[in-house]
Amino acid sequence: MSNGDAQPTTAAAEQARAGATRGAVQWLWLSFAVIALDQLTKWLIERRLELFDQIELLPVLALKLLYNEGAAFSFLSTASGWQRWLFIALAISISIVIVFWLRRLPAKGQAWLAAALALVAGGALGNVIDRVAHGHVIDFILVHYGAWYFPAFNVADSAITVGAIMLIVDSIFISGKNRKAG
């Protein structure tokens, strides 16, 4: 065997191989940050407000403690309880897929996509914690104008929304552009 055929065993080569197997999972710190912030804000709101209490912050923004047994926009909130387990299973499944997706992403060069995925996973798991612990999701951010009210939401919902928008932007402007160039 010649020297040119030998596998490099340097620390740099080992580190590169380890990075290739882990991919962009280092972005999961963002998921954990979303979960921590989401749970902290929900805990603080529940300590400060009773159910349906409202604190006006701005003419268009209030804090109001609400419990949502459904999904986005209270979808299926009046179902008999089976929806809780459906939403738990769905969120956990999506989060598992995201972790595998992050593992397959290169460790560098895909920061936008990795951050988007981490936000979605963190938001999904933040709401799963509520569903498992309480049987409902704690919502408290209320945007309104006059008699019009947007459905209440929380930090986890915000992370999911921002992550989903980032995924769309990535699909249209970043990854789509890279595919055309390649």
Asked whether the predicted pLDDT for residue 154 surpasses 70, the reply is: yes
In this predicted structure, what is the pLDDT of residue 73? 59
> Is 0.85 surpassed by the pTM of this model?
no
Annotation says 170 is catalytic: no
Asked whether the predicted pLDDT for residue 6 surpasses 60, the reply is: no
Helix axes 155-169, 111-134, angle to 10 degrees: 150
Q: Which of the following is catalytic: 38, 53, 130, 157?
A: 157
Q: What is the mean pLDDT of residues 95-117?
A: 96
Q: Which of the following is catalytic: 5, 53, 130, 139?
A: 139
How many whole angstroms from its chain centre is CA 167? 12
Q: Average pLDDT of the chain?
A: 87
Tell me the pLDDT tens digit for each residue of 25-72: 999 999 999 999 999 999 999 999 999 999 999 999 999 999 998 776
- d(Cα 30, Cα 120) in Å, to the nearest integer? 10
Annotation says 157 is catalytic: yes
Which amino acid does the sequence have at 25? V
| 99, HSE (Cβ side, Cα atoms, 13 Å) | 12
